[in-house]
Chain A
Amino acid sequence: MFVLRLLLVALVAVVVFTQVLMPLRIEGRSMEPTYDDGGLVFCWRGRYLFFEPERGDVVVIRFSGRRVTLLKRVVALAGDTVEFRNGALFVNDTWVKEPYVRMPSDWNMAARKVEPGKVYVVGDNRSVVMDRHSFGQVERERIIGGVLW
């Protein structure tokens, strides 16, 4: 009976931590200071089952599978225009206050429109050179969940 219970607990743990709450180890500094290099977060896979990502959400983006993912913040939705002026983010030509960006930035990027079925994501650490920071519009279907906290 004990072995059976143990097996059941193990099975539930495997299902929960592979399908519902995926543990993710952060590698890299693109989301600092919100999430530090080496930190651990959980991807809540049910987050966008019934709701769409909103501006300000931190989302988990998959590549070809779920073993390697990106952690980014949604700053604009489909149909919005995105622009950076001297480090300041403008969405639909309106300055967006971003309290989570604490490091100085000098990014400049001409306005571009987010395509249908996509959202625009950026990391919180804009102090790195723009060319070395992965950001841009991503297909909605690549978002596999949001961070738990």
Chain B
Amino acid sequence: MNVKKILIAVLLAGVVGLLAVRFWPSDERAIRAQLSLIEEAGSKQSSEQPVESLVKATQMAGLFNDPCRLIVAAARHADAYPRKQIQDRIVMVRALYSEVQVTLHDIAIVLAENHTAVVRGTIRLRGQSKGEVIADVQELRAEMGKFDGTWLFTSVEIVEVLER
């Protein structure tokens, strides 16, 4: 076996290793998939039909444990809400926008031993409401738990970065 063949074998092993690391199922990957659903189901195009809106709101609400604690630091508000109420709220907020793009950035996931995780990230909304351009950025701190193999939000906090 010459050097060239060894080099190719090492490269191939490296690629296989990288692919395995990239696609091997893990809790972190499962959580990231749930977060991607927020981006997908949260975003709305101007052509979206009411039925699609309802389906998306149901998908998003399905990410929350029943009940889920919501904390808005700026409003000094913290309470637990049932999933149905969260879904109604999602429908209402999405209806405010004619179109909106939801993106998540700088996600950090810390897994604990007892099937719980803490997620920190930045959520960004860009869209249009009543012909006006709307843009908002908030930092989120969420706690998640694994229930029957599915990761759900047990607590979501909107962090107050700028405090008046």
Contacts and interface: CB of A to CB of B under 8 A. Distances in A.
Contacts of B163: 136-138
Contact of B124 (A66, A68, A112): A68
A61 interface: yes
A121 B140 CA distance: 21
A27 B135 contact: yes
B100 to A, nearest CB: 15
Given A64-B122, A68-B106, A68-B122, A142 B161 contact: yes
A137 B105 contact: no
Interface string A29-54: 00000000000000000000000000
Contacts of A63: 105-106, 122, 137-139, 161
B105 A68 contact: yes
A70 interface: yes
Candidate in A28, A67, A68 with the most chain B CB atoms within 10 angstroms:
A68
B121 interface: yes
A128 B36 CA distance: 33
A135 interface: yes
Interface string A61-92: 10111111010100000000000000000000
A64 B121 contact: yes
Name the interface size band of chain A.
Answer: 20 to 34
A138 B161 contact: yes
A64 B137 CA distance: 11
B105 A65 contact: yes
Contacts of B30: none
B106 A64 contact: yes
B15 interface: no
B164 A64 contact: no
A143 B164 CA distance: 17
B164 to A, nearest CB: 4
Interface in B16-57: none
A136 B121 contact: no
B104 to A, nearest CB: 10
15 contacts: A27-B126, A63-B161, A64-B121, A65-B108, A65-B121, A67-B105, A68-B137, A70-B137, A70-B161, A72-B162, A112-B164, A134-B162, A136-B163, A138-B163, A142-B161
Given A61-B161, A65-B106, A136-B164, 16 more contacts: A28-B135, A61-B162, A63-B106, A63-B138, A66-B106, A67-B105, A67-B122, A70-B137, A70-B161, A70-B162, A109-B164, A121-B162, A137-B163, A138-B161, A138-B162, A142-B161
Interface of B: 105-108, 120-122, 124, 126, 135, 137-140, 161-164
Interface of A: 27-28, 61, 63-68, 70, 72, 109, 112, 121, 134-138, 142
The 9 closest A-B pairs by CB, nearest first: A65-B106, A136-B162, A63-B122, A136-B164, A67-B105, A63-B139, A64-B106, A136-B163, A64-B122
